[in-house]
Amino acid sequence: MPYNDYFITPEAYATINEKLAILKANNAKGKELKAEIKELTHAKVTDNNPTEALYNAVAPETLTFSNSLTNLVQKISLLDINALDENAASLALEKLIGRDLNSRSLSLLKMALFKEIIEYKELLLSCETNAEYNEILEQISALKRKITLLEYSREEEEIRESATTANNLYFLTSSLGNVYFIESIRKNVPEEYYQAFKNLLLTIKNGTFKGLKKLTGIPYFEVRDFKIRITFDRLEGNNFIILDAFMKKDDTSLEINKGLKNREKEITLNKANFKKALNNPEFKALHETYYEDIIQFLDSTTRKGGSR
């Protein structure tokens, strides 16, 4: 889950005893966070391969980080994303850390940033002015946001790791049985984009996930290419549910999120029912038929495909 306000922030005019009590509570929660990665405590440090663990924990209560991780955390801390929206901030962070870190290494980065937050919390007790206090709170807030963005990156990596070269695709349907994806294509997409949507859908099918992005504020994902978007989510393993299709030219990110948010209960119910039916041959055959019909529709020789 994305990072929430896990630590307690003292009021600006709290007494010293109140601040000390909060510090003890935060330290206790810091220990809980360290325990979450207990299974990684014997990971080896390597500066050459970014896909391996970037720290060693010599004891459950004491974290020591490799130079690679320490340097990367410093760069992340200094990265200014305050004026950027979620997409731009995520892109800036991705550019800094690269795309080669696996989910385990991303978790280690999160833990290092958690440790930095704990250190900032301790500094709050020594503030002599409101300006100093507020400045530290801003630093903590910025770190929280970066942790959330790293969480998104971790979830994106988990999607890639669960995929195969032949994923099973299922399609969100309305109460009338209409497939939202194809209905949106028919109603909102110019025919010259049909082939592009087919190619993008194939990246989910074959596990390459072109332009993969975790959506902000809702638990779904999208693949994207130029002006087109396909939203989806994972059911389990290599089974994915296709939610909808969008044209970026007509739908802003906020509108896409809002539309999916309004349909969240319906999506949740569909996902639960789909998971129960994954081993049902008739159910699987039905959605394979949906997929074949969609590919045939998007790839029809009567249309001009692929141009933009």
Q: Domains for the chain: give ranges and CATH numbers.
A: 16-162 (no CATH), 168-298 (3.30.2310.20)
Report how far apart, in Å, the C-alpha atoms of 157 and of each of 112, 131, 151, 226 are.
Answer: 19, 39, 10, 22
Mean pLDDT of 79-107: 77
N-to-C CA span, the chain = 38
Say whether pLDDT at 168 is over 90: yes
What is the percentage of the chain residues whose pLDDT exceeds 90? 32
Percent of the chain exceeding pLDDT 70 equals: 74
Whole-number pLDDT of residue 161: 86
Mean pLDDT over all residues of the chain?
78
The reported pLDDT for the residue numbered 213 is: 87
Neighbours of 21 (CB within 10 A): 14
CA-to-CA distance for 144 and 37, rounded, in angstroms? 19
3-class SS string, 9-67 = CCCCCCCHHHHHHHHHHHHHHHHHHHHCCHHHCCCCCCCCCCCCCCEEEEECCEEEECH
pLDDT band at 101 (very low <50, low <70, confident <90, very high): low
207 vs 84: which has the higher pLDDT: 207
Higher pLDDT, 199 or 97: 199
* pTM of this structure: 0.63
Name the band, by pLDDT with cuts 50, 70 and 90, for residue 267: very high
Q: What is the pLDDT of residue 1?
A: 36
**DSSP sequence for the chain:** ------S----TT--HHHHHHHHHHHHHHHHHHHHTTGGGTTPPP-SS-TTS--EEEEETTEEEE-HHHHHHHHHHHH---TTS-HHHHHHHHHHHH-S---HHHHHHHHHHHHHHHHHHHHHHTT--SHHHHHHHHHHHHHHHHHHHHHHHHHHHHHHHHH--SS-EEEE-B-TTS-BHHHHHHHHH--GGGHHHHHHHHHHHHTT--TT-EEPSSSS-EEEEETTEEEEEEEEETTEEEEEEEEETTT--HHHHHHHHHHTHHHHHHHHHHHHHTTT-HHHHHHHHHHHHHHHHHHT-TTS--S--
* Highest averaged pLDDT of the listed ranges 113-122, 210-219, 256-265, 288-297: 288-297
Render pLDDT for 271-289 as a digit per residue (tens, 0 to 9).
999 999 999 999 999 999 9
Question: What are 111's two structure tokens?
Answer: 């833990």
pLDDT given for residue 103 in this prediction: 64
pLDDT class of 184 with cuts at 50, 70, 90:
very high
Mean pLDDT of 96-110: 73
Q: Cα angle at 298 between 292 and 299, to 5 degrees? A: 85
Comparing 61 with 91, which gets the higher pLDDT? 91
What distance in Å separates the CA atoms of residue 101 and residue 51, rounded to the nearest whole number?
5
- For residue 54, the model assigns a pLDDT of 36
Task: Give 18-27 pLDDT, tens digit per residue.
Answer: 766 777 776 6
pLDDT at 33: 60
Question: Who wins on pLDDT, 191 or 92?
Answer: 191
Q: Cα(209)–Cα(150) distance, rounded to whole angstroms?
A: 18
Nearest to 263 by CA among 174, 198, 197: 174
CA 188 distance to own-chain centroid:
27
Contact 229, 248 (CB under 8 A): yes
